[in-house]
Amino acid sequence: MAVSERVLHQPSLREARLDNGLKILIQEVHTAPLVSVWCWYRVGSGDERPGLTGVSHWVEHMNFKGTTNIPRDEMKSIVERFGGMWNGYTWIDQTTYLETAGKDALDTLLFIEAERMEHGLYEPEECESERTVIISELQGGENDPDQLLDTEVTATAFRAHPYRHPTIGWIEDLRSMTREDLYGYYRRHYVPDNATLVVVGDVERDDVLRRAETHFGRIPAGSPPVRRRAAEPNQIGERRVLIEREGTTGYLKFAWHAPAATEAEFFPMLVLDAALTGAKGTNIWSSFRGAPPQRKARLYTALVERGLASSVSGSLVATAEPFIYSISLTAMEGTALASLESAALDAIERVREQGLSDEEVARARRQLKARLVFETDSVTNIAHQLGYFETIVGDGFVHRMRPAVDAVTTEQVNEVAKRRLARDKRTTGWFQPVERRV
């Protein structure tokens, strides 16, 4: 049975650890007869080296291609037969798999994740087939100007840290990787001691632990690789990216180095972004799908309401190590990128030099706290937040976020704007559309 168990920051939340090292988080939510199961692995594109970029994402794809005891075509339909939903994703610090279904499906969902952890097939023909799919996905992303610009700006903002690599990988690595590369990576990282199982819903804690022990307890602990990442040197001057391609719309992107989730400046910067571009929250699974409240956001009023940009968005995501804060703008038809950049930088410099008002910061805090509530509006979202922050920060962070936002002061926000948004720390990217060449 579990070797340890303890009550965490909420009465309904428990943590346990099996003998093989698998951590289990269980939160009882008895509002509907549903259960959400997520299995998280502490591996993502930030753990990749040149030559193997994109391997984490490719491995994720392969883990939907059948196991020793689940035929390929059954991997997805098992959950659907329960009327449930399934998915997975890879990002820079983690890879995760999920299913949400009626609570009677719990045993089946745990069986699927245990199979995925131990018995992936990685049949050679499936690996080759998926190579074509992933390269097609990469090329499709390159046809999206905003996504292409984001990839190039991120790669330019970083010199050494592996966060510079796109999650999907670089195309030459995708062309050269082998089945042995994929399977070896899977076996090294998909071990209980490198995973967290999260179960949220209409369940009983002791029952979940018994079932988890049955399905996962026999899997050998393994020895996950030690995470080693190159330190990023300080940026000493502005960097610029210019992409000129056929198109009809101009895109502008700024990026600055941002604090990791555990750094003191993270929450002041989160409030700063809410004041500049609208509050999004911290749930990368759901928070960026809808439009944030922007009516009084500084850059919305300065650029969109004035007719210079058709949209503005900001992105600050909680990460294990310092990533980037980005501001993205879509130029209005007839607006030159130089004019849009000049107006945007004028607005940003006013914030750096004069600061935000107490009223602006209070409104941003209010909206941000509301978004943090919204992103735990379902068993699926609760389970995501528990697992996501467990993989990058550890115990209890998700329950400290709202008080941390509430404690942010105007002085802290203005100081982080002045220091973090400096010109010599900035990477600027243009997507300049050009006429179609005959």
DSSP secondary structure of 71-93: -TTHHHHHHHHTT-EEEEEE-SS
Residue type, 87: N
Per cent of the chain over pLDDT 70 is 97
Residue 4 has pLDDT above 80, yes or no: no
Residue 10 has pLDDT above 80, yes or no: no
Average pLDDT over the chain, rounded to whole? 95
Q: Do domains 4-216 and 239-434 have the same CATH topology?
A: yes
Q: What is the pLDDT of residues 307-358, one digit of tens each?
A: 999 999 999 999 999 999 999 999 999 999 999 999 999 999 999 999 999 9
pLDDT score for 84: 96
- Tokens standing for residue 51: 């030559």
- DSSP string over 115-183: HHHH-B---HHHHHHHHHHHHHHHHHHHTSHHHHHHHHHHHHH-SSSGGGS-TT--HHHHHH--HHHHH
SS3 303: helix
- Distance from C-alpha of 260 to C-alpha of 112, rounded to nearest angstrom: 33
Residue 54 has pLDDT above 60, yes or no: yes
**Range 239-434 has CATH code 3.30.830.10:** yes
- Distance from C-alpha of 312 to C-alpha of 375, rounded to nearest angstrom: 22
- Distance from C-alpha of 34 to C-alpha of 52, rounded to nearest angstrom: 39
Q: What is the pLDDT of residues 141-191, one digit of tens each?
A: 999 999 999 999 999 999 999 999 999 999 999 999 999 999 999 999 999
- Distance from C-alpha of 150 to C-alpha of 156, rounded to nearest angstrom: 10
pLDDT score for 5: 55
| Sign of the Cα pseudo-torsion (341, 344, 347, 348, in order) | negative
Domains of the chain, residue spans? 4-216, 239-434
pLDDT score for 158: 98
pLDDT score for 69: 97
Contact 29, 382 (CB under 8 A): yes
Residue 418 has pLDDT above 60, yes or no: yes
Residue 301 has pLDDT above 50, yes or no: yes
Residue 103 has pLDDT above 50, yes or no: yes
Q: For the domain 4-216, what is the CATH code?
A: 3.30.830.10
Q: What is the pLDDT of residues 16-46, one digit of tens each?
A: 999 999 999 999 999 999 999 999 999 999 9
Residue type, 377: D
Q: What is the pLDDT of residues 202-226, one digit of tens each?
A: 999 999 999 999 999 999 999 888 9
Q: What is the mean pLDDT of residues 110-125?
A: 98
| Sign of the Cα pseudo-torsion (58, 59, 61, 66, in order) | positive
Collect all residues with Cβ–Cβ distance below 8 Å to 21 and sequence separation of at least 6: 191, 192, 193, 221, 222
pLDDT score for 11: 63
Q: What is the pLDDT of residues 227-247, one digit of tens each?
A: 999 999 999 999 999 999 999
Q: What is the pLDDT of residues 371-380, one digit of tens each?
A: 999 989 999 9
